[in-house]
Structure 1
């Protein structure tokens, strides 16, 4: 008699798969996302990350960076109420080694240059001689690693951080001369000023030919804001119009690019808080992060 065939992801009941995914490690969770579209979509359900953080003691949220008294300040905002248990409320500069500690930890001029979905940050501070000192930081464990100073021959506009391996930690830092990079499927995507998407690999080389944004977006004079993001493991485009309509466009295959509109959200009510919202990211199916 032949042995029974193992269950596939599609054969597992939703509640069983949900419990499995909310109890696994971050590394395993990334692998599970590529098992099926069902499992990948499950990780973006509104209740998933709250359950995941509760069961695995992980932290989910965003660092919000601003300037106060001509110095950078960075505070952590939890999206699922999970930061208090680890008392993570700001960038942990006090955990730096003695020779790097500042006299005022909470007002030191430490700027977050880039971040990764694994919770690793690339930070930079200005020294007394107006030079730059770079660090890698893991806020959840308050670990810091000082980096050798790069040779700055050209002006850096944006920094991208790519984690190649979590244990042991291996990463790559790419300095860019163009804003708004998005990372997805092992590549870096840049939106050019002529509404094209530039695709780079982790060595900074062009991986695929450039391709256009959706025609409906480029010809829409009402569109005042465009941003590339990575959502559900794929390249997405946020388009925000003067009529307070937020659109999310999806592209399935960048080698044969074809855009489809995935979501459309009316955010007129946001104007009660601010007249100039700027969409930053889709956190899950029900939450959009906006800058005010």
Structure 2
């Protein structure tokens, strides 16, 4: 079956008769909802949609918002703001969460601009909200059945068309210190259900947002592995870091697990250099060192921290009171001032302006 599918992809690529410039013009007008399907058509289409110039033009022509939510703690309250290198659509002045009934903490961000938030309510019990900031829509969802302390939580979009999503939550049972309880919320049933427990030692997952790739959620672990939870099968496994990287435990705090151009990537920053590793074959867990780039342009701001790879040649970074987009190929830095001392959490955000049905 796999060989047949590969053959079909090769046929699509070899039989393409449209000039690349025409394909580019068409794809820059495709909706955010349909873009993932277009990237699966053939290698050429996928490469086009990840060109640096594509994102800017696509956002302009389709009224798409692309950027990051920055979150930090201020006077015992969470504070978030949105930053983008692309101009916002005329109908969106600022992207704020002030339409929600209380001050909230962003917990996770899903596709097409939906955001999961929590707010502290009576006796410290949180309330859960799902919202779409671009259209200022929000709705409250039921609380999880268990009130154990949340260790990790993530949101994934399940389909195109009417927006359907799942929330995966891991909590720490009081009497099972080497287990995490898994609960899943499905927007179709509007209910939580319990899945199988995950056997992991306490405190093994790092305080980072999940990376959703290949139908699984990924978190780095303190022991040097990557925890991967398959959303469809509701099973989990451990993925090893590249052997060359995993040999040196001192390098772990300089790493960032990200998603770049649809692939699981590991970014390693060391002094004035950045290494980018890509999982070239997810099934075989085969890593490849994609490139090594100089950080000489950032030497005057040693506090700059890698947060994400927007594209293979563009890194998103944060520092004190500012964020930056760093063009790795040209060594050019574009900075934006923010009203945060530093970014405690960063969430990649892409949204259309289509209201949720």
The TM-score, its normalising length taken from structure 1, stands at: 0.84
**1 CA distance for matches of 2:264 and 2:293?**
19
**1 CA distance for matches of 2:12 and 2:149?**
55
Tell me which of 126, 151, 159 is aligned to 2:153: 159
Could you say if the C-alpha distance between residues 131 and 203 of structure 1 is closer, same or farther in structure 2, counting changes exceeding 3 Å? farther
Give the stretch that moved more between structures: 221-230 or 143-152. Answer: 221-230
Write the deviation string for residues 7-36 of structure 1: whole angstroms up to 9, x where unpaired. 867443221111111101112211011112
Q: Is the 8 A contact 1:10 1:38 kept in 2?
A: no
**2 CA distance for matches of 1:145 and 1:165?**
19
**1 CA distance for matches of 2:16 and 2:289?**
26
Shift in Å, 1:285? 3.6
- Indicate yes or no: 2:113 matched with 1:123: no
**2 CA distance for matches of 1:183 and 1:269?**
30
Shift in Å, 1:291? 2.4
- Indicate yes or no: 2:25 matched with 1:19: yes
Could you say if the C-alpha distance between residues 93 and 8 of structure 1 is closer, same or farther in structure 2, counting changes exceeding 3 Å? farther
- Indicate yes or no: 2:264 matched with 1:235: yes
Q: Is the 8 A contact 1:196 1:210 kept in 2?
A: yes
Partner of 1:134: 128
Shift in Å, 1:246? 1.6
How many residues align structurally? 273
* Aligned pairs for 1:59-138 within 5 A: 59-81=65-87, 83=88, 85-94=90-99, 96=100, 100=101, 102=102, 109-138=103-132
**1 CA distance for matches of 2:82 and 2:35?**
23
Partner of 1:52: 58
Could you say if the C-alpha distance between residues 193 and 204 of structure 1 is closer, same or farther in structure 2, counting changes exceeding 3 Å? farther
Question: Which one has more relative contact order, counting CA pairs under 8 Å at least 6 apart?
Answer: 2
Tell me which of 305, 314, 317 is aligned to 1:290: 317
Could you say if the C-alpha distance between residues 25 and 70 of structure 1 is closer, same or farther in structure 2, counting changes exceeding 3 Å? same
Q: Is the 8 A contact 1:195 1:212 kept in 2?
A: yes
CA-based RMSD of the aligned residues comes to: 2.4
Name stretches of at least 5 consecutive residues in structure 2 with no aligned partner.
1-10, 172-204, 320-357
Partner of 2:277: 249
Write the deviation string for residues 189-230 of structure 1: whole angstroms up to 9, x where unpaired. 2222222222211268335x4231111111246624222211
Could you say if the C-alpha distance between residues 91 and 41 of structure 1 is closer, same or farther in structure 2, counting changes exceeding 3 Å? same
Name stretches of at least 5 consecutive residues in structure 1 with no aligned partner.
103-108
Give the stretch that moved more between structures: 224-233 or 137-146. Answer: 224-233
Q: Is the 8 A contact 2:117 2:129 kept in 1?
A: yes
Shift in Å, 1:47? 0.8
Partner of 1:105: none
Partner of 2:354: none
The TM-score, its normalising length taken from structure 2, stands at: 0.70
Could you say if the C-alpha distance between residues 158 and 268 of structure 1 is closer, same or farther in structure 2, counting changes exceeding 3 Å? farther
